[in-house]
């Protein structure tokens, strides 16, 4: 519900939804082993929603700063559980910059850059793996079409003929 409310612009309701997930501890939740207080994804969602809500308070600086302070607390909570959390560092850099604390903003920018994955290295590794393994390359396509009548397919007789366009193959 929180994500849907956030996407639809119902930020106060989304904040209530996320806060309920992170902070509430009913007996039923305890009995079922649910504890989202350490879920950094939920904490980040709550922090981002509080940050978005602060942007709506352009005329009321005190209210805006209250939302920003609450967002900072949630992002810091996420960092307690995952000190390399990119989302938390990025948003903290933005919030501290808005609040005029350039030193903290720069520190979180540096940490974000430090922990951010190297996209170029990842892309090179993925490309090399896909070249090396044609089956994995096919499986990684956005839409994967598997030939069911192929040589070596599970459950087929080993004498399956190679497909040809004349035989109705692709």
Whether residues 53 and 28 fall in one domain: yes
Whether residues 44 and 84 fall in one domain: yes
Whether residues 138 and 109 fall in one domain: no
Q: What is the pTM of this model?
A: 0.71
More confident residue, 68 or 164: 68
Whether residues 94 and 142 fall in one domain: no
Whether residues 56 and 16 fall in one domain: yes
DSSP string, 29-80: HHHTT---TT-HHHHHHHHHHHHHHHHT-SS-HHHHHHHHHHHHHHHHHHHH
Whether residues 83 and 153 fall in one domain: no
Residues 112/80, Cβ–Cβ less than 8 Å: no
Mean pLDDT of the chain: 88
Residue 37: inside a domain: yes
Model pLDDT, residue 74: 97
Residue 84: inside a domain: yes
Residues 78/40, Cβ–Cβ less than 8 Å: yes
Model pLDDT, residue 160: 47
CATH number (domain holding residue 38): 1.25.40.10
Q: What residues make up the domain containing 133?
A: 119-158
Residues 20/26, Cβ–Cβ less than 8 Å: no
Band of pLDDT at residue 168, cut at 50, 70 and 90: low
pLDDT in tens, 73-117: 999 999 999 999 999 999 999 999 999 999 999 999 999 999 998
């Amino acid at each position: 519900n929180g994500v849907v409310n956030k996407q639809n612009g119902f930020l106060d309701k989304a904040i209530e939804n996320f806060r309920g997930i992170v902070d509430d501890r009913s007996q039923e939740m305890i009995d079922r082993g649910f504890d989202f207080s350490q879920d950094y994804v939920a904490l980040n969602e709550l922090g981002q929603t509080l940050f978005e809500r602060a942007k709506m308070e352009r005329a009321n600086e005190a209210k805006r700063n209250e939302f920003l302070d609450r967002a900072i607390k949630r992002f810091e909570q996420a960092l307690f559980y995952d000190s390399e959390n990119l989302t938390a560092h990025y948003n903290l850099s933005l919030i501290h910059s808005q609040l005029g604390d350039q030193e903290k903003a720069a520190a979180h920018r540096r940490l974000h850059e430090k922990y951010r994955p190297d996209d170029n290295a990842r892309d090179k590794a993925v490309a090399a793996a896909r070249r090396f393994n044609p089956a994995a390359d096919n499986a990684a396509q956005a839409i994967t079409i598997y030939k069911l009548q192929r040589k070596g397919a599970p459950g087929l007789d080993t004498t399956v003929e190679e497909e040809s366009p004349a035989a109705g193959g692709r």
